[in-house]
Amino acid sequence: MMGEEPRANDFERLFDRSVELLALLTLDGRFVHANAAWRTVLGFAPEVLREKRLSELVHEEDRSTSLIERAQTAEGVIEVLDRYRHRDGSVRWLSWSAEIDRSADRIYASARDVTEQLRVERLQRERDALHRVDLHDSEARHRAILEAAIDGIITIDEFGTIEAFNPAAQRLFGYMKSEVIGQNVSLLMPSPDREAHDTYLLNYTVSGRSRPGLSGREVQGLRKTGEVFPLEIAVSEIRHAGRRLFTGILRDLTERKKVERLKDEFVSTVSHELRTPLTSIRGALSLLLHGTTPALPESARSMLQIAFRNSERLLRLINDLLDVQKIESGALDFVLGRSNLAQLLEQAIEANRSFARQHDVQLEFGEVPRHVYISIDQDRMLQVLTNLLSNAVKFSHTGGSVTLSARVSGPEVRISVTDNGVGIPPAFRDRIFTKFAQADSSDARRRGGTGLGLNITRTLVENMGGAIGFVSEVGQGTTFFVDLPVVGPPSLPPQSLRPPADPELR
């Protein structure tokens, strides 16, 4: 009924459904309450934020001017623009509006993610700067760029008529410039794209909306000879003298496709021709070293150990390459099932104890809840934990330790692998999950590794509905963490797991 007073839970629902970030903070930046938008924008569930301070999320370079720093001396309403770290390590720009209430020790804050807006504004400023260049000089440079570009560049008007066709485009399609200027661009397209092109342009002109994902995508081109070939295209719209024009940059993917085909054939060869005999070689070397054969001379044993270590390293490389190939082809299968978290972590410790011993590093358990269940592919999750534990061991100091722990926070459990090793250099952190990423190639050769493990690990975790991230301090160590949904209630408080006694340490 009109005039009815809103209930408290009405405001709570409005709070949680807001697309803006909303937060109630103490003056020192502790979260009292946060809405669901935090998960969408920065990847953190509200329950997780209650155990954090806002300053922990702020980009390192903005901490001295962040919202919390400003709030220490400000009064009333303040506006702040600063950067924050997403849980996956990427950077987001947030625009804050906050009211400071010192009497209540509260900050009432709301924020918008303006990362994309700032990127667009920067691009617009760059375009505006280009437009201010002397017209004659600009046109001369434009012609020089078109003539020298190794990629095909085509400009069309809003009706699809070709107005510019650079030399690279002539080589690409086999047409001379004089043959295509004034023709419809559909001349360069095979069916059915040719028939649909004019309709697409008309819809765009009327509505102003382009087809999603047109730029930076693979399409088909048609040469003068009738040959259809793969193209990568990026399209941008420009306005010149009151007219709407479209410029397309095109790259021939024919050679890249050939390389990809050769790569797939190589990976197949690796799978069938190398992995099986290499596994046999590794097994034979292991029997010689650890089996019941008569005692070997020390010089022979040393050489066998070198051969065994290198066969293991080569087998890891082959397996990583095969996993990457499966990921890229979409052939990586997952069989999800309900698993006991504590038992899973015990298996991971046992599987990696020997590797840690070889590096004189101790594997330890931290706090782990015993009655928590997660939905995972157990073999893939053990692969994730092995990658994280072996990385931690390799980058730990001799005599150091690596701790495996877990903690439940709301609907999620965080599994952490912590070392006290060398840490991750700041310049490398944005690339740490990319393929073949290695902070120092010489150091990587000494420690071993393919540069594929963390990229594979992130893909495995995300395919099981989780997320991965890390915190690190150079010289102090690193913690990698995996967040996964809990499917079984934690009925008992956390306790330290003790690994089974190691017979070699008795």
Q: Which of 59-63, 79-83, 300-304, 444-448 has the lowest mean pLDDT?
A: 444-448
- Shared-domain flag, residues 66 and 85: yes
Does 348 have pLDDT greater than 80?
yes
Is residue 496 located within the same domain as residue 367? Answer: yes
Q: How far is it, in rounded angstroms, from Cα 427 to Cα 435?
A: 16
What is the enclosing helix (H) or strand (E) of 55? none
- Are residues 112 and 215 both part of a single domain? no
For residues 457 and 468, give the distance between their C-alpha atoms in angstroms, rounded to a whole number. 8
Q: Does 133 score more than 80 pLDDT?
A: no
Q: Is residue 127 part of a domain?
A: no
Instruction: Note whether 110 and 152 are same-domain residues.
Output: no
Do residues 96 and 62 lie in contact, with contact meaning Cβ atoms separated by under 8 Å? no
- Domain end residue (candidates: 252, 287, 321): 252
Both 387 and 417 in one domain: the answer is yes
Q: What is the pLDDT of residue 276?
A: 74
Which of the given ranges, 23-37, 197-211, 303-317, has the highest pLDDT on average? 23-37
Lowest mean pLDDT among 43-57, 130-144, 447-461: 130-144
Domain holding 325, by residue range, is: 256-329
Q: What is the pLDDT of residue 457?
A: 87
Greatest mean pLDDT among 91-95, 150-154, 280-284: 91-95
Taking the CA atoms of the chain, what radius of gyration do you get in angstroms? 29
Cβ neighbours for 205, distance < 8 A, ≥ 6 positions apart: 158, 244
Of the pLDDT bands very low, low, confident and very high (cuts 50, 70, 90), residue 30 is very high
Read off the pTM.
0.44
**DSSP structural state of residue 161:** B
Assess if residue 345 is contained within a domain. yes
Identify which of 228, 110, 253, 124 has the alpha carbon closest to the alpha carbon of residue 174.
Answer: 228
Would residue 125 count as lying in a domain? no
Residues 483, 353, single domain; the answer is: yes
Residue 215's pLDDT is: 53
Same domain, 344 and 459: yes
375 shares its domain with 490: yes
Both tokens assigned to 91: 């950077």
Domain count, the chain: 4
More confident residue, 360 or 443: 360
Give per-residue pLDDT as tens, 262-278. 877 776 676 667 777 77
* Residue 334 confidence (pLDDT): 80
- Specify whether 294 is located in the same domain as 392: no
- Per-residue pLDDT, averaged over 381-401, amounts to 90
The whole-angstrom separation of Cα 504 and Cα 216 is 57
pLDDT for position 75 = 87
Average pLDDT value for residue range 385-410: 91
| Mean pLDDT, the chain, integer | 81
Both 263 and 248 in one domain: the answer is: no
> Is 393 inside any structural domain?
yes
One-letter identity of residue 499: P
CATH code of residue 235: 3.30.450.20
> Has residue 364 been placed in a domain?
yes
pLDDT at 26: 93
How high is the pLDDT of residue 226? 92
Question: Which helix (H) or strand (E) element contains residue 312?
Answer: helix 298-329
Q: Are residues 141 and 267 part of one domain?
A: no
Do 341 and 483 lie in one domain? The reply is yes
477 part of a folded domain: yes
Rounded CA-CA distance 367/406 in Å is: 6
Q: Which of 208, 234, 252 is at the close of a domain?
A: 252
Cα–Cα distance for residue pair 165/181, rounded to 1 Å: 7
**Residue at 77 is within a domain:** yes
End position of a domain, from candidates 84, 118, 152: 118
Q: Is residue 123 part of a domain?
A: no
